[in-house]
A and B are shown apart, each in its own frame.
Chain A
Amino acid sequence: MTQTKSGLVETRHLLHHEPPIFEQGAAGRSGASLPTLDVPEVSASTLFGDLHRDAEPSLPEVSEVDVTRHFTRLSRWNYAIDIGMYPLGSCTMKYNPKVNERMARLPGFAGLHPAQAEQTLQGALELMYRLEQVLCEISGFARVTLQPAAGAHGELCGLMMIRAYHQSQGRFPRKVLIPDSAHGTNPASVTLNQMECVPLKTSADGLLSAETVRAAVAQHPGDIAGLMVTNPSTLGIFEEHLAEISEIIHQAGGLVYMDGANFNALLGKVRPGATGVDVMHINLHKTFTTPHGGGGPGSGPVGVVEKLIPFLPTPTVEHKDGVYHLNYNRPQSVGRLRSFFGNFGMHVRAYTYIREMGGVGLTQATEMAVLNAVYLRALLHEEFPPVSDKPSMHEYVTSDKKLKKETSVQTLDIAKRLIDYGFHPPTVYFPLVVPGALMIEPTETESKETLDQFASALLAIAKEAHSEPDRVKHAPHQTALRRLDETKAARQPRLRWMPQG
Chain B
Amino acid sequence: MGKNVLLVDDSSTMRKIVGRSLRQAGIDFDNIFEAADGIEALEILEKEHIDIVLSDINMPNMDGISFLREKATRDNIKGIPVLMISTETGDDIIGEAKSLGAVGAIKKPFTPDKVNEVLGPLL
Q: Do A and B come from one complex?
A: no
Hey, which bits of chain B sit against chain A, CB under 8 A? none
Hey, which bits of chain A sit against chain B, CB under 8 A? none
